[in-house]
Structure formats: structure tokens, C-alpha cells
């Protein structure tokens, strides 16, 4: 099916990561021209840029000036940005219930996820204000739908992204782009560098009790949803929606432990 993404200029944040790199490859497979953001994964981002004939761009998304510079660089290198996939995020590995959660970690997690996504969205919409068109896809998490014990900071940040921010942006965007759209994807447990070492067989057996499809996603599962939402051909009348990519996960147990 034609996605209409051939020749579109696409920026993927966190493009050197597992889900981010899958998104870059999925967009490139549709003929899009790629800008691949990274913070520390320079080698992976540059390899991916070489693979996709794209460009790798560095920025710390928690720093306002660097985000502004990222969009200036993307516009300079590609001639503009038609689609932005805000994939970058951070999941702290340590289990810390709220009564033990340090304020420092709380603030750092919100900054790495919510603030970074806000700055990314703002940078993109400032370009859209000039061009009058654009599609934005935010990446949240099932933690933002169901919560995640021991990671209330991460769950709170992702909930804010995929509810408050998403639903506000879809109404604001049309002030500057009458056909502009913003949607979000909420991945569940997904094999990626961020979850490396966490998804052992026994753990997967436990967590998948809340899932109709008893398996963990791969990054390409999430990337395909991002591409569909970004495409005006495939989802041109869809905005403000959250697509959950989590094998039918629910907030209750649907399987007995084998």
C-alpha cells in the first residue's frame, strides 16, 4: 500500500536506539529522506545515516538551545522537516517505590521524557508554523496507561505525553496547519537496548499474563505503527489518537501462570 512518504523529510529523535533505528529504517524503506538524532550513540547513528543516505545530528533534548539547534540543522540539511517522530526517552532500571523515590531521579526522568518531548514538539511546530503542514508522532508507553510499580516517575511522564500533551497539541496544531496531525504510539515491553537484561524467559512468562498475545514486541512492530500514523495516505483523518502496541495488554491478568 502506498504511504505517500517517498521524498518526505523525516526527523527521528533517539534514532540510534532500538525503536528509533527501526523507525529510521521503516521510513527510509518508504523513500523518506532521513535526519537521525542521537545524544551519545554517535557511531550507531552515523552507521544508520550511511545505510539510509541520511544525516546524523547530535543534541541533548533536555537542553532548550540544543533542541532549537537540532531543528535548524535538520532544516538546513534536508531543506525542511515534514514528519517528526519523537522516539527518544529514558527508562530508569532501578525499582524505586514512591516512598523511596529520590526527587533527583523524579525530576531527571520527567526531564528526559516529558520535557524532552515538549521541546521536540515545540521545535517541530515552529517549522510547521512557517510551512503550514506536518505530521508529528509521539512515543509514550503502556506505563502511561496502566502505571508501573517501581517506576511512577516514568509512568507519570509517559501519561502526560500521551494524554495531556497529545490531546492539547492535536487542537493547537490545526491553528497553524489545517490538515496537520499529531498522534502517539504506546509500546509495551519491547526487545531493545533499553530493556536488555530485563526480558528473561521467566519474566516474560509473568508479564505476558496480562497480554492476549503472549509475546514481547520487537522494535519493528512499533516502527510500523509510527509509519502508519505519520502517513497522510494511511491515516489522514486520524489525529489525537493513541495506538497501543503491546499484544493486547490489559490492566488485569488474562492468563494463569504456566
Q: Would you please indicate which residues are annotated as catalytic (active-site) residues?
A: 154
Largest pairwise CA distance in the chain? 56
DSSP 175-187: TT-TT-EEEEEEE
Q: What stretches of the chain show up as alpha helix (H) in DSSP? A: 18-29, 42-52, 64-78, 103-110, 116-131, 143-146, 152-159, 166-173, 201-207, 219-230, 232-235
Contact 120, 165 (CB under 8 A): no
Q: How many whole angstroms separate alpha carbon 93 and alpha carbon 123? A: 29
- The backbone torsions φ and ψ at residue 115, rounded to the nearest 5 degrees and listed phi first, read -65, -40
Contact 138, 117 (CB under 8 A): yes
Amino acid at each position: 500500500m502506498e504511504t505517500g512518504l517517498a521524498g518526505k523529510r523525516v526527523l527521528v529523535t533517539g534514532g540510534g536506539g532500538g525503536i528509533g533505528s527501526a523507525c529510521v529504517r521503516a521510513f527510509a524503506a518508504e523513500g523518506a529522506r532521513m535526519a537521525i538524532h542521537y545524544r551519545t550513540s554517535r557511531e550507531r547513528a552515523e552507521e544508520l545515516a550511511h545505510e539510509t543516505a541520511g544525516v546524523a545530528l547530535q543534541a541533548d533534548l533536555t537542553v532548550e538551545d540544543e533542541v532549537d539547534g537540532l531543528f535548524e540543522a535538520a532544516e538546513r540539511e534536508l531543506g525542511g522537516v515534514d514528519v517528526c517522530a519523537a522516539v527518544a526517552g529514558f527508562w530508569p532500571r532501578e525499582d524505586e517505590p514512591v516512598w523511596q523515590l529520590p526527587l533527583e531521579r523524579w525530576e531527571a526522568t520527567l526531564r528526559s521524557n516529558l520535557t524532552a518531548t515538549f521541546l521536540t514538539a515545540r521545535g517541530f511546530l515552529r517549522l510547521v508554523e512557517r510551512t503550514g503542514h506536518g505530521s508529528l508522532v509521539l512515543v509514550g508507553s503502556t506505563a502511561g496507561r496502566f502505571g508501573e510499580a517501581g517506576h511512577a516517575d516514568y509512568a507519570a511522564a509517559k501519561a502526560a505525553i500521551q494524554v495531556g500533551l497529545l490531546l492539547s497539541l492535536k487542537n493547537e496544531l490545526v491553528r497553524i496547519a489545517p490538515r496537520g496531525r499529531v498522534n502517539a504510539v504506546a509500546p509495551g515491553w519491547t526487545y531493545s537496548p533499553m530493556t536488555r537484561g530485563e526480558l528473561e524467559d521467566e519474566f516474560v512468562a509473568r508479564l505476558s499474563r496480562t497480554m492476549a498475545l503472549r509475546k514481547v514486541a520487537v522494535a519493528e512492530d512499533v516502527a510500523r505503527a509510527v509509519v502508519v500514523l505519520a502517513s497522510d495516505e494511511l491515516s489522514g483523518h486520524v489525529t489525537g489518537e493513541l495506538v497501543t502496541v503491546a499484544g493486547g495488554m490489559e490492566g488485569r491478568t488474562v492468563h494463569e501462570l504456566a
